[in-house]
Structure 1
Amino acid sequence: MSAKRYVQTRTRKIKKFFGLLGPGLTTGAADDDPSGIATYSQTGAQFGYGQLWTALYMLPFMTAVQEACARIGMVTGKGLTGVIKDHYSKKILYSAVGLVIIANTINIGADIGAMAAAAQLIIPADIIVLMLFFTVSILLLEIFTNYRVYSTILKWLALSLLAYPLTAFIIDQPWKDILKATIVPHFEFSFSFLFIITGVFGTTITPYMFFWQASQEVEEENEKGLIRDGKPKIGWAHIHAMRKDNNIGMLISEFTTWCIILVGGTVLHGSHITDINTAADAAKALEPLVQSFPHSGLISKIIFAIGIIGLGMLAIPVLSGSASYAVSEAFDWNASFGFTFRKAKGFYIVIIISTLIGLCMNFIGINPVKALVYTAVLNGVAAVPLLFLIIRISASERIMGEFKSRWLSKILLWATFIFMATASVAMLFTI
């Protein structure tokens, strides 16, 4: 084969690979939002490598849950709310919608506060001014720009997350201990341990991801013209392509999680910083990456702030959007970031209201960094009943037809449900 033909062949394969990447990659990126970074950093700071194993063992569960949500959206041509509305009672419908609205609105508020706190590390401005600036900026971008263009730009800011893998591998590490902590689960039956591990589960397998990915798969089908007469025309080739996208997105997300916990364990816990109270505390985890540079403390703060701000601006539209998809489908409103405000007023009004309520939550005096961890724990509890619904829907032959869950999917989904339910109940018991 000539060099020119070899290059052309490789180029086609690379384009084909990146062509597979879609909602799964976006959802995986949004999963490592400010709440995730804060929770994983707190886990490492408080327990060292004690919960490092969660990143490895949560990967198959997270992948199975998101695959089921994506498959539901692809097969039915509807988001989760639309499917629940068609096949379950109004009581179950409104309960599911209520859960995601409450959890997402609180998460939005925590993310806005964290973005402002992170920005204060490098900008000498009042935190209220910064919160207002981010809130208005996000709403204007959501309403008046194409979300795909917007999210593509912000993904470049999200590359600052690479600071955690780089830090993890450039500093001296006890790799034998790390390998053991990654593979061998460690448990402590105490409230503090169960509280944080519930937060880890909740910020990894989180309600907004369920609704977002299902709805985004439907949007993808609409763009590709796969939905005709209200019914998707798909085959197993489409399902396999979705699974590749989903697997890649979840793998990247969990690798990042592992690196954040690892860096928190080595740098923060190793320096006897066991409780993260401020954005500056969290930023200290990245100082080893730039310690050879002058003003390394400032540089680490800049890297941390850029990551938190970029990921927050990427995640908040996902949070408000998934809540709005849920409400809009419940009331048969037009719902898509592809529509203008005039064509989808209800959809955008829900986004505006949930974002503004989230902003107002920052004025009740909760530490913005601590709020991120509390939000993750709330998501861990709220995810449990929603997981039960996802399991039932994805396994239903009446709803899913030939694309219903097979034995491996069922095992992983039920295991996820039992594991998260047990953690939530045990945490409440130890209070």
Structure 2
Amino acid sequence: MRPINRGRMQAMVRSALSLMFSSTRRILAMKKRSLGNLIRILGPGFVSGAADNDPAGIATYTQVGAQFGYGQLWTAPFALPLLIAIQEACARIGAVTGKGLAALIKEHYGPIVLYASVAIIVVTNTINIGADIGAMAEAIRLLVPIPFIVLVLGTAFVTLSLEIFSSYRTYAKYLKGLSAVAFVYLLTAFIVKEPWLRILKATFVPHIELSFAFLLIILANIGTTIAPYLFFWETSQEVEEDKAAGRIGITGKVTISRDAIDNMRLDNAIGMFASQLITWSIIVVSATVLNQHGVTNLNTAADAAKALEPLVHSFPYAGFLAKLLFAIGIVSAGLLVVPVLAGSAGYALAESLGWDEGLDLKFTRAHGFYGVITASTLVGVAINFVGIDPIKLLVYTSVLNGVAAVPLIFLIIRISGNEAIMGDYVSRKLSIGFTWLAFMAMSGAAIAALFTFLRGG
């Protein structure tokens, strides 16, 4: 056997190490670029998914878990493809046409359909704003004994200031960051001792009870997930993306690439998946922590905050920390969604009346648009003084959203499937199938809840 040449061996080792390290650096650089690209892609779809878990959503999902345990866990995976399909259709409509939903309804379906649609979104959004602002105030009151009216006015002022005086690009960055707060529910789900086999079965095997209470909360559950304000918001925000990217020509024609559409779909899918993962987590945590310990009805914000106590049970002042986490989650969600609610109402009415609109415009150039935002927020504030508990009002608004979404989904199906409007980007069979399924599911839930109510069930 020939002796090993130590110098040659060292050279080979050095070469191998050099190759390994250079390859590792290239891989890490590629991953870094890929992650950076992914973060840049995340936009209206991700923000819409985050806004889907607003205070109304958090309260409704918490009530679902508290009242029916794991019985409605299956609604999260069931709603996911429907939510993705509806929001993808809305996003595609905005990106391809460069117009918001209200503008397209006005152009193709006449004034009666237009004003009925705008009335739906303005009324439901205004009530939703009121419920969310009230919930934010109640959440803050868990921590500091400030009068309710002061907190309501303060939160309304902050949200209005952010939307009117911040640019869309700047504000969107904060919206993305705020969306991460809701993941405390996912963390709690894996800290609590869970009956995972039972949860797995409940997640994928539907459970139905033919009672008014069960069907009404299903309607609220799906209604706060597939919510009308998200339809108008994401469509209009894709138009904002077109403007920012210079895709809209002088004549108003949009020039968009397949890559841009693919990025939009990825953004949308990630946002909606994250939304439903949080939904599932909230129901799991509420079922385990509240329902299993006899708390089946939420009367106050403090009742809802108990769901997070296991996350901090080993710390001193666990009750206070749970309230703090709950308050941060509700306030963050409110700051995220109240401008979305007001903004989508603003887009709808401004497009209908031909006003200048857009969060990229200054207040001096879009008085009407920002006037709608301000008015809807102030009316929402007034709703907090009619004597309805903010937590219960959140659930009621979710039911209202579920009913209001039905005719709007029908219009979205018609617009996204119209080749004269959408050209090469008209809806295909898969999109059409899931959007019609969403329409039928929400119609069925509303009819079933009404039927059982009339029967006295």
Same fold (TM > 0.5): yes
The answer as to 2:268 corresponding to 1:251 is: no
Q: Equivalent residue for 1:37?
A: 58
Q: Equivalent residue for 1:382?
A: 404
Q: Equivalent residue for 2:318?
A: 296
In the TM superposition, residue 154 of structure 1 has moved relative to its aligned partner by: 4.8
| CA offsets 1:217-245 (integer angstroms, 9 cap, x no match) | 00001000011120110132221111111
| CA offsets 1:157-182 (integer angstroms, 9 cap, x no match) | 44321210111001111000000000
Q: Equivalent residue for 2:46?
A: 25
Q: Equivalent residue for 1:138?
A: 159
Partner SS for 1:231: coil
Whether the 8 Å CA contact 2:178–2:336 is kept in 1: the answer is no
Whether the 8 Å CA contact 1:34–1:111 is kept in 2: the answer is yes
The answer as to 2:234 corresponding to 1:213 is: yes
Partner SS for 2:72: coil
Q: Equivalent residue for 1:117?
A: 138
Distance in 2 of aligned mates of 1:306 and 1:173: 25
The answer as to 2:202 corresponding to 1:181 is: yes
In the TM superposition, residue 87 of structure 1 has moved relative to its aligned partner by: 0.5
Partner SS for 1:89: helix
Q: Equivalent residue for 1:284?
A: 306
In the TM superposition, residue 428 of structure 1 has moved relative to its aligned partner by: 1.1
The answer as to 2:445 corresponding to 1:423 is: yes
Q: Equivalent residue for 1:315?
A: 337
Change (3 A) 1:158 1:402: closer
Taking the TM superposition and a 5 Å limit, the aligned residue runs for 1:80-99 are 80-99=101-120
Q: Please, which moves more after superposition, 145-154 or 303-312?
A: 145-154
Question: What is the letter of the counterpart of residue 370 of structure 1?
Answer: K
Of 243, 246, 262 in structure 2, the residue corresponding to residue 225 of structure 1 is: 246
Distance in 2 of aligned mates of 1:395 and 1:5: 44
Distance in 1 of aligned mates of 2:331 and 2:218: 25
Distance in 1 of aligned mates of 2:451 and 2:221: 18
Whether the 8 Å CA contact 1:112–1:359 is kept in 2: the answer is yes
The answer as to 2:393 corresponding to 1:371 is: yes
| TM-score, scaled relative to structure 1 | 0.98
Whether the 8 Å CA contact 1:75–1:232 is kept in 2: the answer is yes
Whether the 8 Å CA contact 1:103–1:379 is kept in 2: the answer is yes
Partner SS for 2:359: coil
| TM-score, scaled relative to structure 2 | 0.93
Taking the TM superposition and a 5 Å limit, the aligned residue runs for 1:32-111 are 32-111=53-132
Partner SS for 2:384: helix
Size of the aligned set, in residue pairs, is 431
Whether the 8 Å CA contact 1:199–1:380 is kept in 2: the answer is yes
Partner SS for 1:364: coil
Q: Equivalent residue for 1:16?
A: 37
| CA offsets 1:125-174 (integer angstroms, 9 cap, x no match) | 00111001111111122111223323423543443212101110011110
Whether the 8 Å CA contact 2:94–2:235 is kept in 1: the answer is yes
Runs of 4+ with deviation above 4 angstroms: none
The answer as to 2:414 corresponding to 1:392 is: yes
The answer as to 2:365 corresponding to 1:343 is: yes
Distance in 1 of aligned mates of 2:169 and 2:395: 29
Distance in 1 of aligned mates of 2:41 and 2:175: 20
User: What CA RMSD, in Å, does the superposition of the two structures yield over aligned residues?
Assistant: 1.0
Change (3 A) 1:151 1:237: closer
| CA offsets 1:11-47 (integer angstroms, 9 cap, x no match) | 2111122222111000000000000000000000000
Question: What is the letter of the counterpart of residue 299 of structure 1?
Answer: L
Distance in 1 of aligned mates of 2:161 and 2:178: 19
- In structure 1, the gaps of 5 or more residues are none
Distance in 2 of aligned mates of 1:92 and 1:195: 27
The answer as to 2:276 corresponding to 1:260 is: no
- In structure 2, the gaps of 5 or more residues are 1-18
Distance in 1 of aligned mates of 2:383 and 2:41: 39
In the TM superposition, residue 412 of structure 1 has moved relative to its aligned partner by: 0.5
| CA offsets 1:105-129 (integer angstroms, 9 cap, x no match) | 0000000000000000001100111
Distance in 2 of aligned mates of 1:15 and 1:159: 17
